[in-house]
Amino acid sequence: MALKGIDIFKLTPKTNCKECGNPTCMAFSMKVASGAVEITKCPHLSDEVLAKVSESNAPPMKTIAVKAGDTEYKLGGETVLYRHEKTFVSKTLYAMTVCTDMEDNDAKIAESMKVDYDRIGERMYCEYIFVNCGEKKDEFVALAQKAAAANRGVVLNCSDVETMKAAATAIKDAQPILNGADASNYEAMSAVATELGCVLGVTGADLDELYETVTKLEALGNKNLILDVGTASVKAAFEGAVQIRRAALLNKDRTFGYPTIVNVAKLAAGDEAFETALASLFTLKYGSIVVLSDMTYAKSLALHGLRQNVFTDPQKPMKVEPGIYPLNKADADAPCCITVDFALTYFVVSGELERSGVPCNLLISDAGGYSVLTAWAAGKLSASTIVKFINEYEIANKINNRTLILPGKVAVLKGEVQDKLPDWNVVVGPAEAVGLVKFMKELQA
């Protein structure tokens, strides 16, 4: 039984193992090989052997820890090229850009920081600020400090070692990413990053030069890296992002086994629509940090929605939190509409209800993340579950109106629900959400 080229049986001593009680540790080895137990639980293996096995069994793409304000994120660690093969594990992070040559940096930061909201239990905001060092190098430190003060992660983009060191030292507590190593300065940049405990961004004129520079950095002992695919052209950046991922995952080449950073703001050259399209592309293939010119609500709705779909485990349905969701300034006297917690159902139904302009309280019941008909077929949406939800959330004590609107596709539940809730007026809504606008207006009239 081998674990990626390492024979577990040869590593495990022939002694009585505390994990399995087998003198030859065969059962334990089988568990390790199947992934049921970590080999680090074996009390007989030396640190040297454990390190060897752990490195051999690690994902071909290294997991890099980064700090974005008060939050720590993981980049890399991917094991598949396509989400449907298994799942993606480390979501793309977004950065907005400021530069020493710009006059409106304060306003740009303030506007981008306004985009901060919750969607299906996940905070949607701009995680990073990309600080670019232009011609005015003397202003780089001050601009880096402004970025760090925004309580976001910071990427410092500068190829001058002394300028980078000054800025990185000034905000070292923010643990910035130092994006500035190349074939000409990699040794000095690595020394700065290692001294401050920062992730080092590496770039090259092409993939061959990038590969050689990463090889040299690894020889120096620095494997805390992120690879910049460059901004020569959209084609070159896309090719770089894809080839780096394929080299790591398909060819098992750990030299390219690092997350990537893509500057779509520079690639789009001021075209906002093109920039959003490129950011969507590199969210899918395969940017770990995607740099934008700024973050607006329009960009956020497109990019964060896409990211949430792509980086959600395909085996786990997206759910919203069960509860009461007042719409159109609804109060306790507004009628109630009830539906399931499947995220897509929630957004479609709530969108149509909001479009109607009629105040109503949308009740989201726990249906395991299933759609209406699937939940009904599985027994997760029934008269009993509806009554249980209303009792558990004390709907009768919180809402005065006694009109309860059921999804039209489960009209069969009306009689049973009415029997269980005699004080309520149970109404069957339209079969499709698009009919809610007309239905709610007629109900109000």
Q: Is residue 249 very low, low, confident or very high in pLDDT (cuts 50, 70, 90)?
A: very high
Specify the pLDDT at position 13: 47
Same domain as 226, residue 348: no
Tens digit of each residue's pLDDT (9 = 90 or more) over 380-395 = 999 999 999 999 999 9
- The least confident of 55-59, 69-73, 110-114, 358-362 is 55-59
Same domain as 237, residue 127: yes
Quick check: 20 pLDDT over 70? no
- The least confident of 31-40, 251-260, 350-359 is 31-40
The amino acid present at 34, given as its one-letter code, is S
Distance CA 325, CA 443 (A): 19
Tens digit of each residue's pLDDT (9 = 90 or more) over 136-147 = 999 999 999 999
pTM: 0.79
Q: Is residue 17 very low, low, confident or very high in pLDDT (cuts 50, 70, 90)?
A: low
Question: In which domain, by residue range, is 7 found?
Answer: 2-57
Domain count, the chain: 3
Burial level of 89, CB count in 10 A (0-12/13-18/19+)? middle
Mean pLDDT, residues 222-242: 96
Distance CA 376, CA 197 (A): 54
Specify the pLDDT at position 86: 87
Would residue 15 count as lying in a domain? Answer: yes
Name the residue with tokens 């894809």. Answer: 242
CATH of the domain at 404: 3.40.50.11600
Which letter, b or e, does each residue of 349-362 get, where b requires 16 or more Cβ atoms within 10 Å of its Cβ?
bbebbeebebbbbb
Same domain as 401, residue 252: no
- Domain boundary among the residues 310, 339, 367 is at 310
Specify the pLDDT at position 53: 66
Quick check: 4 pLDDT over 70? no
Same domain as 112, residue 144: yes
Specify the pLDDT at position 69: 87
Tens digit of each residue's pLDDT (9 = 90 or more) over 79-109 = 999 988 888 999 999 999 999 999 899 999 9
Would residue 386 count as lying in a domain? Answer: yes
Same domain as 167, residue 123: yes
Same domain as 346, residue 246: no
Percent of the chain at pLDDT above 70? Answer: 89
Give the chain's mean pLDDT: 89
CB atoms within 10 A of CB 418: 16
Mean pLDDT, residues 348-371: 93
CATH of the domain at 197: 3.20.20.20
Specify the pLDDT at position 26: 65
Which token pair is 398? Answer: 């919180």
Name the residue with tokens 């509860």. Answer: 323
Query: H-helix or E-strand containing 310?
Result: helix 297-310
Same domain as 371, residue 223: no
Q: Is 179 helix (H, G, I), strand (E, B) or coil?
A: strand
